Amino acid sequence: MLTCEQALRQAAAAIGGDSPRLDAELLLARVTGWSRTSFRAWPERELADEAAEHFAVLVSQRANGTPVAHLLGEQGFWSLTLQVNPSTLIPRPDTECLVEAALALPLPGAARVIDLGTGTGAIALALASERPQWQVMACDAVADAAELARRNACALGLPLEVVVSHWFADLPPGRFDLIISNPPYIRRDDHHLQQGDVRFEPSTALVAGDDGLDDLRVIIAESPDWLQPAGWLVVEHGYDQGEAVRQLFAAAGFTAVATRRDYGGQERLTLGCWPERQVGADDAPRPISHRESSDAE
């Protein structure tokens, strides 16, 4: 019989990649019901043959590239555990930066919020968990993804209205104090699409045209029609798209445009405020320079 430590070492060697030991521990915890801490406390604990066989199957799947989140059927995000499936993206830690940015904004106590392209519901549900007085809505163009978000809301006991809509196309009339989105922003020819977990995720949730900006252009251009005066737009984007996205915000008439960095120090999200009055040609906001608007806080 294998001990936990032997099983984990063999699994990590087979899995490879960036975090093989972590992946192996997560899979073994699922098979055995034991905590990851226990593997360190009692490395000599032996695995039953049935558990070892089940673990070997999961390790083989992971070694072939299947994401751990798909093998477990869940993924942690913020303080939540979310169900995941291949119909949408697996929530990433860096997307938590959007939640942090939104929570820091000067919004009304009962702010109306919408998460565009919600997927698992990660952003919307994180906001709802932190601000129960907010009225949070979410939408996704994929019906299966919208249903997944509803299931997650129900499982977590959080109120969330989910609509099937491609961005704003089928939303009910109304205006929001905050529009937030992690849209597709990868270029069609990006070599990363052939690497890692993204190989198992829907391309429609990843790819946005030749330059990766197609969906961001739509969201930024149309958001003013859906924002309250002094409302905010917050979007995630690629590490090398900050300058282009800031220019899109400025061209649409947003003020207080700023780009924030993710946990790895890369430009990852841009936000802007819709002014309380329409600016005229003489006082339109000037383009935001990289030095001024890139926020390394």
Q: Strands 161-164 and 135-140, how do they pair?
A: parallel
What is the spatial distance between Cα 188 and Cα 228, in angstroms, rounded to a whole number? Answer: 34
Q: Given this model, what pLDDT does residue 284 score? A: 42
Chain centroid offset of residue 136 CA: 16
**pTM assigned to the model:** 0.84
The maximal CA–CA distance of the chain, rounded, in angstroms, is: 78
The mean per-residue pLDDT over the stretch 273-292 comes to 52
Helix axes 96-103, 122-130, angle to 10 degrees: 40
120-132 per-position pLDDT tens digit: 999 999 999 999 9
Q: Given this model, what pLDDT does residue 276 score? A: 82
Q: Given this model, what pLDDT does residue 189 score? A: 60
Helix axes 20-32, 49-63, angle to 10 degrees: 140
Give me the DSSP letters along 248-281: HHHHHT-EEEEEEE-TTS-EEEEEEE--SS---G
What is the spatial distance between Cα 162 and Cα 145, in angstroms, rounded to a whole number? Answer: 10
What is the spatial distance between Cα 147 and Cα 125, in angstroms, rounded to a whole number? Answer: 14
Q: Of 60-64, 177-181, 284-288, give the range with the top mean pLDDT.
A: 177-181
163-to-136, 147, 150, 220 alpha-carbon distances in Å: 12, 9, 10, 20
What is the spatial distance between Cα 31 and Cα 22, in angstroms, rounded to a whole number? Answer: 14
The residue with greater pLDDT, 26 or 199, is: 26
The mean per-residue pLDDT over the stretch 31-51 comes to 93
Structure tokens at 222: 């149309």
218-227 per-position pLDDT tens digit: 999 999 999 9
Q: Given this model, what pLDDT does residue 87 score? A: 82
What is the spatial distance between Cα 41 and Cα 85, in angstroms, rounded to a whole number? Answer: 33
